[in-house]
Structure 1
C-alpha cells in the first residue's frame, strides 16, 4: 500500500514543476521519494491514528481486517497507477477501512464521517479558488514579479516555521513542535497582548529569509527565480504529502503495532516511509506525466498557483488529523490555475472522468472492503 501511495498520491506535488519544464520527470521522482519519506516519518502520526482508530466505533481493527482493508485500497491504487487516472488514496483507504470495520460488527463513526466529508467537499473549491486568485495575482501588471513571487515565498516560509515536526524537541506533554515553537520554548519570552512574541519573531524571520532569497533570484533573472521557487515549493509540498499520505498505509496496522505488539509508532511510520520511497522511485514517472501534461498546459506562474494551496491545505489536514487525497488538492489547483488564463488549456473530459473515478472509488471501496473481509473471515474462521 505504501508503495502504491509513493507511486500514485505522492506524485502530483511535482507535476506542475514538470509541466513548466522546471525539472525532469526522473529527477522529480527521485526528489519526491526522499522528501515524502522524510515527511512520513516526521508528520505521519496523526493521520495514522485517525485511519486506524477513528473510522469505526466499538471494535478494534484486527490483523485480518487490516489485511483486507489494505489489500482493497492497494488494488485501487495499483489500478490508478497503471490506468493513468489518479485514484484518491484517502477515499480508497477510508472506504475500505469503513467496510472492514462494518464487517467486524462495528458501528459507523458518524461524527468522523461528517468531519471528513465536509473537509473533502471544501477542498476542490478552496484549492481551485486559491490557485485561481494566485495565478491572477502573478499574471497581473500591478504587482511586479520581482515582488509578487518573493511575497509568496515569504508566506510559504512563514507557514513552514509553524508546521509540527516529530524531530523537533517539544515541551513536556506535547508530542511534536514547530521551528517557531521551539524558538519560543528556548527563548521563554513572556506573551505580549496575548501573543507569543518569540514565535511571532521566529515566523517573521523565516518569512523574511524566504522573501529575500527568492527576491535576489528574481532580480538576477525573473525566469530563473520563478523556476527556483517552483522547485522548492514542489519539494515542500512533496514533504507534506508524505506526512499526510503515509497514515493511509500505516493506519490499518496501528492497533496491531501499538496496542497488541507494544511497538513504537515511529517503527510503523518508518516502514511506511520505506514503501513510499520505493514507490516514488519505481512507479511515479507515469503519474507525473499524466498529471503534468494532460490536465492543463501549465506555465510556471500557474504551476506555482497550483502548489501554494496544496501546501496550505495539506498542512491544515495534518493539523486536524484528516486523511486527504493529494490528487484532489493538486488537480483542483491545476484546474484553478488553468482557468485563470481561460479554459482552453483544461481538458474537461479528463476532469469529468477523474471526478467520476473519485466518487466511484469512495462508494465501491466500502462494499469491496466489506466483501473481502467477510470472505476471508468465512474461509479462515477468524475475525
Structure 2
C-alpha cells in the first residue's frame, strides 16, 4: 500500500514540475525566441540544463527549508499528507492560470505546507517570519532598483543592447566538408552576435534562478516524508524538462506571460534584476517568488520611465507659464536616440498610462496574493478535518 501511495506522490510531484517547466520557459527564453535568436527546441533544452544546475546546487537549500525547517517536526510529512499538499499547490496554481494571472509557485507551496503545519501545531514561526519578511522586502527592492534604472539609465541601456536583425540566419552550417562547421550568416554583424549572446545568457540566468527556487515547490513535501533528495531532484528536473520541451511552446509562441511581452531591453533589465534577487535569496534558503519580484520590477521600470514625463505649469515668482512636456521616455526601436529632456515630440512619446497601468497592476497583485491564501486556507481546513477524524 505504501508503495502505491508513493507512486501517487511521485505522479503529483511530477505534474507540478511539468507545469513549472511549461510556465517558466517562456519568461526565460521568450525574448531570445521572439528575436529569432534560438529555436523553441533549443530554448527548452537550455531551460532543462540550467534549471537542473540551479536545482542541484543552490536549490538544495530551499528544499531543506521547506521540507525540514519550516515545520518543527518533519514527521507531519507522510506520503498521504504530501500528496494532499501537492494537490493544493497544483490546484491553487490552476486557479491563478485560469484567471490569467501568473501566480507565485513558491508562495503557493509555502502556503500549503504552512497550512499543514498549522493544523498539526508544528509550524516553525521563526522560519515562517523570516520568509514572510523577505517576501515583502524583495519585491520592494526589485521595484526601486528597476525604477531607478527606468528613470535614469534605460535610454543608455537600450542603445547598448538593441539587436539590429539582419536578413537571413544568424548562423549557418557548412556541410561541404567531412565535418560540418558552423559560421556566421552572410549578413550577420558582430553587434548582432553580441546582442544575441547577451539575450541567450540572460535566459540561462533566469533558468538557473528558477531551478534554485522552484525545484523545492515540486519535491519538498516528499523530501520531508523521507524520500531521498537526489532522487527527487532528478525526477523533478526530468518533469520540468518535459514541460519545457512540450507545453512551453505555447508560451514561447505568444510571449504573453510575465516579462516576455515587454520590449526586449525592458525584458533584459527585469530579468537581470529579478534573477539576481531570486538567486541571492535561494542561497540563504529563502523560497523566493520570481513571478512577484518580476511583476514588481516591471511595475517599477514602467513607473520609473513614466516619471520622466512631468508637466511644469507654473514658473518662478508665481508667473503662469504654458504647460510644457518634459518627458524623456525613450522609444524601444533599436538605434533610436533618446530625446533630451524638453525636446521630445508629445505625439510620439508614450504616456504614463501606457507604461504604468494602476488598474491592471492592482488586479495582478491582488490575485498573486489570493492564490497562495487559497492553498494555505484550503490545506489548513482539510488537515484539521483529517487530523480530527483520521490521524
Query: Do the structures match in fold with TM over 0.5?
Result: yes
**Aligned counterpart in structure 2 of residue 279 of structure 1, from 225, 235, 243:** 243
CA distance 1:144–1:368, shift in 2 (3 Å)? closer
Q: Rg: which structure is higher? A: 2
Distance 2:35 2:203 in 1: 12
Compute the TM-score of the two structures, normalised by the length of structure 1: 0.69
Question: RMSD over aligned Cα, in angstroms?
Answer: 3.2
> Match of 1:89?
105
CA distance 1:10–1:53, shift in 2 (3 Å)? farther
Q: Are residues 1:365 and 2:375 paired?
A: yes
Distance 1:291 1:335 in 2: 18
Aligned length, in residue pairs? 304
Displacement, 1:72?
0.4
Displacement, 1:337?
3.1
Alignment of 1:1-383 (within 5 A): 1-9=16-24, 11-17=26-32, 27-58=42-73, 60=75, 61-106=77-122, 108-135=123-150, 136-140=152-156, 145=160, 221-258=190-227, 263=228, 265-287=229-251, 292=256, 298-342=262-306, 343=352, 344-376=354-386, 381-382=390-391
Displacement, 1:286?
4.4
Asked if 2 retains the 8 angstrom alpha-carbon contact of 1:297 and 1:338, the reply is no
> Which structure dedicates a bigger proportion of its chain to helix?
1
CA distance 1:29–1:336, shift in 2 (3 Å)? farther
Structure 2 residues not aligned, in runs of 5+: 1-15, 164-187, 307-351
Structure possessing the higher relative contact order (Cα contacts under 8 Å, 6 or more residues apart): 1
Q: Secondary structure at the match of 2:57?
A: helix
Structure 1 residues not aligned, in runs of 5+: 150-218
Q: Secondary structure at the match of 2:225?
A: helix
Displacement, 1:16?
4.6
- Residues 104-133 of structure 1 show CA distances to partners (whole Å, capped at 9, x for unaligned) of 232x32211221111111222211332333
Q: Secondary structure at the match of 1:140?
A: helix
Displacement, 1:48?
0.5
Displacement, 1:95?
0.6
Distance 1:21 1:122 in 2: 36
